[in-house]
């Protein structure tokens, strides 16, 4: 049975935006595939992420295993510390319209990626609203319309962030790791914006983990697709749009050979929201995942939606 696969591309850095995105667009065009791109549009404070060494268990090991310093480059590793943090969206304003014109979905991945990733859990509602509004203002200036989809940096979400997405009329979010679409609940509060989680592990998590090679990761993705359930794979413009572009090209080629159907996340969201009462509810909690430093927001068991 041919599977269905949604490609979610997270763009975290200036390097990923200016170089990774055009490279991915070319490969996707060659295979006739459309993806969902989510872009952080504010300052690139990548250098500040190094402080996670003191806060997140497993961060240093992951940096070493994935050769992150060589991957991201010296300048990126200094942005926000030794070097000023450049504004990502302003660096190549033509790229967002180009993505849309090529048929890709273009959504938000926050404003300051590092700030959200590291501090969201402590943000009050007003602070979260300000972060999303700043990103939305930049997006609207570039695209002449607001974004309708949001993907949280580092899969970090909260009741405050999901409440803000509803207040700002987003169609859906892709903020968590899980198995199937749902409406997120935090305690006894069920939030109103559909969630489409990332269902597959990511290359940066598994690379080098128990000896995993890029080709092993491709085989894992294809094996999951054989089960027939729709899957969402998160790519990173800095990884798959950089040194692992050739492996991504091979993944798309093998998917095409097997008849895999690709979809944009927005298409699936609109399909599901035709009958929202059939979409289940699930609790969200912070959990650790293999190969990933720190904890991320994960979907719990699916439940019937309260009437």
Domains defined along the chain, listed by start: 4-299 (3.20.20.370)
Q: Which of 15-19, 82-86, 193-197, 215-219 has the lowest mean pLDDT?
A: 82-86
**DSSP one-letter string for 69-100:** HHHH-HHHHHBTTTB---BHHHH-TTHHHHHH
Which element (helix H / strand E) includes 302? none
Pairing type for strands 172-173 and 149-150 reads parallel
pLDDT at 51: 47
Mean pLDDT of the 246-255 span = 97
Between 145 and 211, the higher pLDDT residue = 145
Give the number of other Cβ atoms within 10 Å of residue 124's Cβ: 9
What pLDDT band is residue 254 in, cutting at 50, 70 and 90? very high
On whether the pTM is more than 0.85, the answer is: yes
Between 78 and 186, the higher pLDDT residue = 186
Q: Which of 50-59, 112-121, 201-210, 280-289 has the lowest mean pLDDT?
A: 50-59
pLDDT at 143: 98
Over residues 40-75, the pLDDT tens digits come to 999 998 876 654 544 556 554 555 456 666 566 667
CA distances 176 to 50, 163, 195, 234, 265, Å, are 23, 15, 8, 11, 14
pLDDT at 54: 44
């Amino acid at each position: 049975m041919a599977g269905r696969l949604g490609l979610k591309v997270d763009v975290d850095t200036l390097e990923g935006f200016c170089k990774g995105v055009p490279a991915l667009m070319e490969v996707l065009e060659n295979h006739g595939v459309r993806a969902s791109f989510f872009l952080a549009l504010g300052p690139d404070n990548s250098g500040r992420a190094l402080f996670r060494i003191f806060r997140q268990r497993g961060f240093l090991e992951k940096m070493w295993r994935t050769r992150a310093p060589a991957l991201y480059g010296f300048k990126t590793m200094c942005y926000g510390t030794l070097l000023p943090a450049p504004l990502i969206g302003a660096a190549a304003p033509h790229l967002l319209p180009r993505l849309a014109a090529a048929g890709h979905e273009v959504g938000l991945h926050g404003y300051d990626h590092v700030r959200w990733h590291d501090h969201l859990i402590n943000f009050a509602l007003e602070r979260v609203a300000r972060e999303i509004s700043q990103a939305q203002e930049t997006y609207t200036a570039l695209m002449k319309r607001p974004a309708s989809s949001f993907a949280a940096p580092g899969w970090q979400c909260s009741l405050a962030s999901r409440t803000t997405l509803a207040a700002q009329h987003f169609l859906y979010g892709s903020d968590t790791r899980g198995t199937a679409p749902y409406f997120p609940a935090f305690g006894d509060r069920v939030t109103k914006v559909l969630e489409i989680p990332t269902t597959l592990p990511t290359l940066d998590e598994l690379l080098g983990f128990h000896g995993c090679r890029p080709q092993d990761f491709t085989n894992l993705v294809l094996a999951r697709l054989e089960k027939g359930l729709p899957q969402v794979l998160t790519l990173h413009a800095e990884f798959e749009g950089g040194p692992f572009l050739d492996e991504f090209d091979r993944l798309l080629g093998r998917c095409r050979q097997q008849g895999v159907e690709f979809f944009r996340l927005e298409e699936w969201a609109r399909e599901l929201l035709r009958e929202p009462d059939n979409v289940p509810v699930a609790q969200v909690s912070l959990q650790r995942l293999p190969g990933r430093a720190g904890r991320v927001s994960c979907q719990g068991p699916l439940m019937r939606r309260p009437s």
